[in-house]
């Protein structure tokens, strides 16, 4: 088990390094850097001015050196201009002697966002809390709903209930968030034709979430995932219901209710557990769409802002966080699968 964990962690770190390097490389291509220079300096800079700006801000070194600086394994750049020393690690009140040599994410320095003009770590923490709130409620709504639908559909395969619930599951998997969100807003929140039950924006939910302003975004994300998890649960439940021990229980005369609750359910829930965990990358996508649609300022919204303005540090910060979330959930899903299913032993 320990070896397995170590190996998985090593792969995880390697993956995170590769991915952050890809993001770093793509955001630091020459046209993107030119955009950064014009955004930071002024938009009417000539090509020579752009080059000079890039040179004085440490952007002219090779990409891998700058990636090392960002990571904190290479010393930060310094630049001496007009007798004034500036550098990656040299803050406002620091001199050459007091400034640290290394300042990357290993030292806890995530850089500064050019769009929000704040520390990336601060932005990511604040936005993460908002997105976490959203995800928490999504999970709270999605998991019980999906499992209930899946178990009810799978316990009597081919019945009318199964047909109806399966159709519902297919409907939800065919409805991406930007479609269901639009339809839900039009039906429940539109001021002209709708029912006006809920609010069409979730901006006010950032300070005080309540049922009226937070239900629609949560439902929108939850619906898309529900169908998929429910179908997995249904398949696994249907398989368990044909197993030998369920037949034995039935022949012994155990009531159907007890068969489902005591014999089948626990075994049927192993597969959905992994699926729910692997749903996280998809949920992250949903979060970006829904936060944009409902104007809820979480991590997804920040990602859109950062990407639209090529805010390198913020983009890197958010991608590192989301990649870690994805990889950790994959790891949990693997470990959980082994833990829940005693038949599988580590090889």
Partner 1 sequence: MEDLSWGAILLRVFIRFLPVWIALIVTFSLSIAFKRRLGLYGKLFDNSIGVVGFGLVMFWVYTALSVGLFGWIATQDPLSAATGMKNAMPGSPLRGAGPGDYPFYLLGGDTLARDVFSRMIAGSWVVIRIAPLATLFSFMVGITLGLPAGYVGGKLDTVLSFLANLILAFPVILLFYLLVTPEMVETGIPSYMAIVLFLFPIIFLTVLINARFYTQPRRRNITLAVLLVVLGWTYLSLISDPETVVRFWPQALDLFNVPAGILVVFVSVVFVNAPTVFRIVRGLTMDIKTRDYVAAAQTRGEGPWYIMLWEILPNARGPLIVDFCLRIGYTTILLGTLGFFGLGLPTESPDWGSTINQGRKLLSIYPHAAIVPAVALLSLVLGLNLLADGLREESLKD
Reduce the DSSP state of residue 112 to 3 states and report it.
strand
Q: What is the β-pairing status of strands 84-87 and 78-81? A: antiparallel
| The only residue of 157, 292, 332, 341 in contact with partner 1, by rule CB under 8 A | 292
DSSP 8-state secondary structure symbol assigned to residue 116:
T
CA 23/CA 119 separation, integer angstroms: 19
Interface with partner 1, residue 132, by CB under 8 A: no
| The only residue of 41, 75, 100, 194 in contact with partner 1, by rule CB under 8 A | 194
| The only residue of 65, 174, 261, 344 in contact with partner 1, by rule CB under 8 A | 174
CA 326/CA 343 separation, integer angstroms: 26
- Specify burial of residue 344 (Cβ count, 10 A radius: 0-12, 13-18, 19+): exposed
Interface with partner 1, residue 193, by CB under 8 A: yes
| The only residue of 78, 112, 285, 341 in contact with partner 1, by rule CB under 8 A | 285
Please report, in angstroms and rounded to a whole number, the separation of the first and last CA atoms in the chain: 9
- Find tokens 């159907």 and name the residue: 256
CA 123/CA 24 separation, integer angstroms: 19
Mark the segment that binds partner 1 (CB under 8 A) among 40-48, 93-101, 133-141, 288-296.
Answer: 288-296
DSSP 8-state secondary structure symbol assigned to residue 78:
E
**Closest to partner 1 by CB, 6 or 29:** 29
Interface with partner 1, residue 190, by CB under 8 A: yes
Phi, psi of 84 (to 5 degrees): -110, 130
Helix (H) or strand (E) holding 103: none
| The only residue of 114, 121, 173, 267 in contact with partner 1, by rule CB under 8 A | 173
Interface with partner 1, residue 178, by CB under 8 A: yes
Interface with partner 1, residue 203, by CB under 8 A: no
**Closest to partner 1 by CB, 106 or 183:** 183
**Closest to partner 1 by CB, 35 or 52:** 35
Residue 263 CB, nearest approach to partner 1 (Å): 26
| The only residue of 68, 75, 100, 176 in contact with partner 1, by rule CB under 8 A | 176
CA 317/CA 338 separation, integer angstroms: 32
Interface with partner 1, residue 148, by CB under 8 A: no
**Cα angle 319-320-322, degrees, rounded to a multiple of 5:** 60
Residue 157 CB, nearest approach to partner 1 (Å): 12
Instruction: Give the contact letters, 1-30, x = binds to partner 1 (CB under 8 A), - = no.
Output: ----------x--xx--xx---x--xx-xx
Query: Partners of 85 in the beta sheet?
Result: 80
Q: Which of 25, 27, 51 is nearest to 37 (CA)?
A: 51
**Residues from 26 through 55 that contact partner 1 (CB under 8 A):** 26-27, 29-32, 35
Residue 260 CB, nearest approach to partner 1 (Å): 24
Interface with partner 1, residue 242, by CB under 8 A: no
CA 340/CA 347 separation, integer angstroms: 16
Evaluate whether 214 touches 130 at the Cβ level (below 8 Å): no
CA 96/CA 211 separation, integer angstroms: 54
Q: Which of 154, 176, 180 is nearest to 165 (CA)?
A: 154
Instruction: Give the contact letters, 82-121, x = binds to partner 1 (CB under 8 A), - = no.
Output: ----------------------------------------
Write out the residues near partner 1 by the rule CB under 8 A. 11, 14-15, 18-19, 23, 26-27, 29-32, 35, 170-171, 173-176, 178-179, 182-183, 185-186, 189-194, 200, 281, 284-285, 288-289, 292-293, 300, 303-304, 307-308, 310, 315, 318-319, 322-323, 326-327, 330
């Amino acid at each position: 088990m320990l070896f397995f964990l170590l190996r998985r962690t090593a792969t995880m770190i390697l993956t995170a390094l590769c991915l952050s390097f890809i993001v770093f490389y793509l955001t630091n291509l020459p046209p993107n850097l030119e955009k950064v220079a014009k955004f930071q300096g002024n938009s009417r800079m000539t090509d020579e001015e752009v080059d000079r700006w890039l040179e004085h801000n440490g952007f002219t070194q090779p990409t891998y050196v700058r990636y090392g600086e960002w990571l904190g394994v290479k010393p930060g750049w310094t630049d001496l201009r007009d007798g004034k020393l500036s550098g990656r690690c040299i803050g406002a009140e620091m001199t050459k002697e007091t400034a640290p040599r290394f300042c990357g994410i290993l030292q806890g320095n995530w850089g500064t966002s050019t769009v929000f003009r704040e520390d990336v770590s601060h932005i990511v923490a604040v936005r993460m809390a908002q997105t976490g709130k959203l995800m928490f409620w999504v999970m709270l709504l999605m998991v019980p709903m999906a499992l209930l639908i899946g178990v009810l559909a799978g316990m009597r395969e081919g019945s009318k209930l199964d047909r109806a619930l399966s159709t519902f599951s297919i409907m939800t998997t065919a409805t991406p968030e930007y479609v269901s969100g639009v339809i839900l807003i039009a039906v429940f929140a539109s001021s002209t034709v709708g029912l006006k039950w809920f609010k069409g924006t979730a901006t006010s939910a950032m300070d005080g979430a309540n049922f009226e302003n937070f239900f629609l975004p949560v439902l929108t994300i939850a619906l898309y995932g529900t169908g998929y998890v429910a179908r997995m649960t249904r398949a696994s439940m249907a398989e368990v219901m044909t197993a030998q021990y369920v037949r034995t229980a039935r022949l012994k005369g155990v009531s159907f209710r007890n068969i489902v609750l005591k014999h089948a359910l626990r075994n049927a829930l192993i597969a959905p557990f992994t699926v729910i965990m692997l749903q996280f990358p998809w949920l992250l996508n949903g979060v970006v769409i829904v936060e944009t649609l409902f104007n809820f300022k979480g991590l997804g919204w920040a990602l859109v802002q950062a990407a639209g303005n090529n805010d390198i540090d913020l983009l890197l910060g958010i991608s590192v966080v989301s990649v870690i979330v994805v990889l950790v959930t994959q790891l949990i899903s693997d470990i959980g699968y082994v833990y829940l299913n005693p038949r599988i032993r580590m090889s």
